[in-house]
């Protein structure tokens, strides 16, 4: 089923915030960008289309599938329901969350976490599914987790898949205040040793690190970003570091995304759009509407992200109006 976003009815029916928020200016998306409780958004550009793959924000037992959303311009969004369902993952039982989706060889690979395992004796962890189209349907690739155990203290969740300029694919992941990086085999069926023989290399950047890692490269530098604080509370936030390689070392430089008590709380677990044609950057993240305290009352929003002349990320201003249209098609 496809659902077109209608801002004013969505705001009244879904956000139900106690704060009065005006409709966005003409040509702006407005935040949240689509209706529903959705969190941990993965942002991807495939061809001339923006895609967002979020967690369906419900109790863990009810997190049993993923929807996706596509847009030609960041303003008009189409819902693609049930692109990956738990029935197509034989080893998963609950708690599907935090997608990471990449294109490779005319296929689309959907990395996800499942089951919220608490130790190595439980079945679950990070899985991967595959499809022929960005909107699926996706099917489990391995019949088991890609990573199903704790390494260096990192819970196997919140994976982000990153392709370096030399064609190497890495996955950065980890909860419980530990982050690992692994090198992925070219077919995404397993992990491979790095040059020093390490399979699971810890790159936890700071004691404040909690979860939600992601990485990108800009001007020859590697930017490592992550979430801090408790995901269910108002102080959830995003910080970053810069390094000379995917393995770091990384030193925390500060927060760039956090709550604004006049706009929303719990702003965190993000990803990014980078539009090459005009070098514009957008941060895609979830946040909690004012007046809401339930942990799963989370909505997906988009705001602009900027850099200073030294390449540092400037603090993001979270907004209700969101971003202007930016069509990818020339």
**Any idea which residues carry the catalytic annotation?**
40, 211
Residue 324 structure tokens: 């202007």
Planar angle of CA 137, 296, 63, nearest 5 degrees:
30
Strands (DSSP E) found in the chain: 38-46, 49-56, 65-71, 78-85, 97-104, 107-114, 125-131, 139-140, 160-163, 169-173, 180-184, 191-192, 201-202, 211-218, 221-228, 237-243, 251-257, 264-275, 280-289, 299-305
Q: Please, are residues 210 and 157 in contact by the beta-carbon 8 Å criterion?
A: no
Distance between CA atoms of residues 54 and 38, nearest Å: 6
Nearest Cα residue to 180 out of 219, 142, 209, 223: 209
3-state helix, strand, coil in the chain (%, to 5): 5, 45, 50
Q: 26: phi > 0 → left, psi -120 to 50 → alpha, else beta; which?
A: beta
The count of other CB atoms within 10 Å of the CB of residue 217 is 13
Distance between CA atoms of residues 113 and 272, nearest Å: 20
């Amino acid at each position: 089923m496809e659902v077109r976003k209608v801002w004013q009815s969505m705001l009244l029916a879904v956000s139900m915030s106690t704060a009065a928020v005006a409709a966005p200016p003409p040509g702006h998306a407005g935040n949240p960008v689509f209706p529903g409780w959705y969190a941990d958004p993965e942002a991807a550009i495939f061809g001339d289309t923006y895609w967002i793959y979020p967690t369906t924000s419900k109790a863990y037992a009810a997190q049993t599938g993923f929807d996706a959303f596509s847009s030609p311009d960041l303003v008009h969004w189409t819902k693609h329901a049930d692109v990956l369902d738990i029935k197509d993952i034989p080893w998963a039982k609950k708690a599907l969350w935090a997608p990471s989706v990449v294109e490779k060889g005319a296929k689309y690979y959907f990395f996800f976490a499942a089951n919220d395992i608490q130790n190595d004796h439980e079945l679950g962890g990070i899985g991967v599914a595959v499809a022929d189209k960005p909107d699926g349907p996706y099917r489990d690739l391995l019949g088991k987790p890609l990573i199903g155990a704790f390494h260096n203290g990192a819970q196997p969740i919140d994976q982000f898949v990153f392709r370096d300029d030399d064609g190497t694919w890495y996955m950065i992941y980890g909860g419980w205040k530990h982050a690992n990086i692994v090198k992925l085999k070219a077919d995404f069926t397993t992990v491979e040793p790095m040059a020093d023989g390490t399979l699971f290399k810890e790159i936890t950047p700071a004691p404040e690190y909690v979860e939600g890692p992601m990485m990108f490269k800009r001007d020859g530098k590697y930017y490592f970003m992550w979430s801090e604080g408790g995901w269910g509370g108002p102080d959830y936030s995003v910080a970053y570091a810069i390094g000379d390689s995917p393995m770091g070392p990384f030193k925390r430089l500060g927060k760039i995304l956090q709550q604004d008590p006049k706009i929303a709380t719990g702003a965190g677990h993000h990803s990014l759009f980078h539009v090459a044609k005009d070098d514009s950057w957008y941060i895609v993240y979830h946040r909690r509407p004012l007046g809401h305290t339930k942990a799963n009352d989370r909505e997906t929003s988009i705001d602009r992200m900027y850099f200073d002349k030294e390449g540092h990320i400037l603090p993001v201003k979270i907004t209700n109006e969101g971003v202007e249209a930016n069509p990818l098609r020339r």
